[in-house]
């Protein structure tokens, strides 16, 4: 499951690990010879592209992280909804999965939708000077299963 990130996935933005997650997920599914990839139109953690752009400007102007920027805009730090993904899996007859994610929120959301997760497989990002601030936010504020010591 991947939420849209036009800056990272399409334009090669370096300040997030979205493209890395996308590529690692597809590579792992190819290696395993199985998998379902669900792409969700939930840009900016569900806030939408326009709000994401405004949040990026606030991050730069106020030197705050993404969570604080969204809060300045009166938005939730993560408003993504995974019920559509769960419904797609159920439609395909899939109720037990191995989930490729670093996000406890994604895991809990799918469990609440009745999807049995047999294994969570983290997608360890390559840490760079560009994505380090965002990875710190994901680790400290969202509890993502990542290590910042891999480089």
Question: Distance (Å, rounded) from C-alpha 8 to C-alpha 143?
Answer: 21
Looking at 78, 84, 96, 149, which residue is catalytic? Answer: 78
CA 55, CA 38: separation in Å to the nearest integer? Answer: 26
> What Å distances lie between residue 128 and 73, 77, 92, 133, 145, CA to CA?
28, 23, 38, 9, 17
Query: Distance of CA 4 to CAs 9, 45, 118, Å?
Result: 8, 8, 25
Active site residue 19: no
Specify the long-range contacts of residues 50-58, CB closer than 8 Å, at least 24 apart. 51/75
**Pair of tokens at residue 30:** 């190819």
Active site residue: 80, 96, 145, 149, which one? 80
Q: Any idea which residues carry the catalytic annotation?
A: 78, 80
């Amino acid at each position: 499951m991947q939420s849209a990130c036009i800056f990272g996935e399409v334009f090669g933005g370096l300040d997030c690990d979205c493209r890395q997650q996308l590529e690692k997920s597809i590579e792992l599914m190819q290696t395993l010879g199985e998998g379902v990839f669900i792409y969700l139109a939930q840009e900016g953690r569900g806030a939408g592209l326009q709000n994401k752009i405004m949040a990026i400007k606030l991050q730069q102007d106020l030197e705050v992280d993404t969570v604080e920027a969204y809060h300045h805009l009166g938005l939730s730090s993560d408003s993504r909804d995974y019920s559509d993904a769960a419904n797609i899996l159920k439609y395909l007859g899939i109720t037990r999965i191995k989930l490729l994610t670093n996000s406890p929120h994604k895991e809990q959301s799918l469990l609440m939708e009745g999807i049995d997760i047999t294994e969570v497989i983290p997608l360890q990002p390559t840490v760079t000077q560009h994505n380090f601030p965002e990875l710190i936010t994901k680790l400290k504020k969202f509890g993502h299963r990542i290590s910042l010591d891999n480089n």
